[in-house]
Amino acid sequence: MASPQTTQILQSPILDANFQTAGATAASGGISGAFPGPWYIETQQLDIDYFRVPVGGLSSFDISLSSTSVVFKPITQTHVVGVVRASYQARVDHAEYSTSSFQQPQLFTLEAASAGPNGTSYGDLTASTMGAMGKILTTTPYYSRVPYLSGTSQPLVSKNIDAATFFAKTESTVATSGASGIITVANTHQVEPFMSRYEVFLSQVWEAGALTNSFEPSVHQSSMLYWIPGQFSVAKESLAAIINYINSVGWRITGSQLYSNPATAIGTFVIQDAGFAEYSTARHSF
């Protein structure tokens, strides 16, 4: 499998004088400045592990008593599924700073691999390609520091999610005390084991030619993100589409339109309930 290529798709970070990122070292004896607190500080992060997956299906088959022949359609389209980790925090800080306020945008790095899990390569990567799989990482979180004014609308908040853009489920029957005696319920599963299994996305278990069976979890999503028609090649990608994908995931966080991982089921229905309103794509910088 090809080694991932790392591409910083955004600008270099800008750090507050008293803001410590992972790996940074505080000045000896602390940092002081001309502007004392209290301060209202907000931070926001987003990381995505992703795989591009195929959509297709059975074209034709011929079965006799001595042989079989099965022909699949060409790949009709591909799309991106992902596991999403996001956080937002608003807190009060009483440290001193060298400026009266500070803000920096949320910056990302793309770690992309041209080859998929089976080793097939889809072209040479550039700064405008996500490839077959990889990670989108927040390298510098959104950060805002303004004076904290007691009694104003500056709530103290800490939110985070471990979610996905799709879900995996099986169904089973359970005995009840109701009139029917049994009900069907959905059993949801962690999605990570299915992200690299192209066969579960190619066609569903109820479709002719499915390569999985009804005892295995099936995968579902409310909409396909960053879909590309036909067979995949990195030549079909663009930086604009990657930016739209990142923002699309962000919008789904804001609207709680992602799936918990594993997803939340009510009877046979699986609901989108992962996200928080405090997340804002306006803090992204591209």
In a domain, 20, yes or no: no
pLDDT greater than 90 at residue 178: no
Note whether 135 and 50 are within 8 A (CB). yes
pLDDT in tens, 226-258: 999 999 999 999 999 999 999 999 999 999 999
Question: What's the CA gap between 31 and 16, in Å, rounded?
Answer: 11
What pLDDT sits at residue 157?
94
pLDDT in tens, 205-222: 556 566 566 667 788 888
pLDDT greater than 70 at residue 2: no
Note whether 149 and 93 are within 8 A (CB). no
- Beta strands 225-229 and 142-147: pairing type? unpaired
**Continuous segment of H or E residues that includes residue 247:** helix 239-254
In a domain, 91, yes or no: yes
Taking residues 112-134, report their average pLDDT: 93
> How does the average pLDDT of the chain come out, rounded?
84
pLDDT in tens, 147-159: 999 777 899 999 9
In a domain, 205, yes or no: yes
Taking residues 4-9, report their average pLDDT: 52
In a domain, 26, yes or no: no
> Which tops the pLDDT comparison, 271 or 27?
271
What pLDDT sits at residue 203?
65
What pLDDT sits at residue 33?
60
Residue type at 46? L
Instruction: Grade residue 65 by pLDDT with cuts at 50, 70 and 90.
Output: confident
Q: How many separate domains does the chain show?
A: 1
User: How far from each other are the two terminal CA atoms of the chain, in whole angstroms?
Assistant: 29
pLDDT greater than 70 at residue 37: yes
Domain that holds residue 96: 5-14+34-283
pLDDT greater than 90 at residue 172: no
Question: What's the CA gap between 259 and 251, in Å, rounded?
Answer: 13
In a domain, 24, yes or no: no
Taking residues 20-31, report their average pLDDT: 38
In a domain, 134, yes or no: yes
Question: What's the CA gap between 253 and 87, in Å, rounded?
Answer: 10
Q: Report which DSSP code applies to 203.
A: S
Taking residues 91-106, report their average pLDDT: 93
Q: Report which DSSP code applies to 121.
A: B
Question: What's the CA gap between 30 and 13, in Å, rounded?
Answer: 22
What pLDDT sits at residue 214?
65
In a domain, 23, yes or no: no
pLDDT greater than 60 at residue 31: no
* Residue whose C-alpha is closest to residue 259's, from 164, 160, 162, 161: 164
Note whether 168 and 191 are within 8 A (CB). yes
In a domain, 22, yes or no: no
* Residue whose C-alpha is closest to residue 283's, from 127, 103, 157: 103
- Beta strands 264-266 and 107-113: pairing type? unpaired
What pLDDT sits at residue 54?
92
Instruction: Grade residue 43 by pLDDT with cuts at 50, 70 and 90.
Output: very high
Instruction: Grade residue 125 by pLDDT with cuts at 50, 70 and 90.
Output: very high
> Which tops the pLDDT comparison, 279 or 66?
279
Instruction: Grade residue 15 by pLDDT with cuts at 50, 70 and 90.
Output: low
pLDDT greater than 90 at residue 129: yes
Please tell me the pTM assigned to this model.
0.84
Task: Tell me the percentage of the chain whose pLDDT exceeds 90.
Answer: 58
What pLDDT sits at residue 229?
96
Reported in sequence order, the residue ranges of the chain that DSSP labels E, i.e. its strands, are: 5-8, 39-55, 58-63, 68-72, 77-93, 102-104, 107-113, 133-140, 142-147, 157-164, 167-175, 182-189, 218-220, 225-229, 259-260, 264-266, 269-271
What pLDDT sits at residue 20?
47
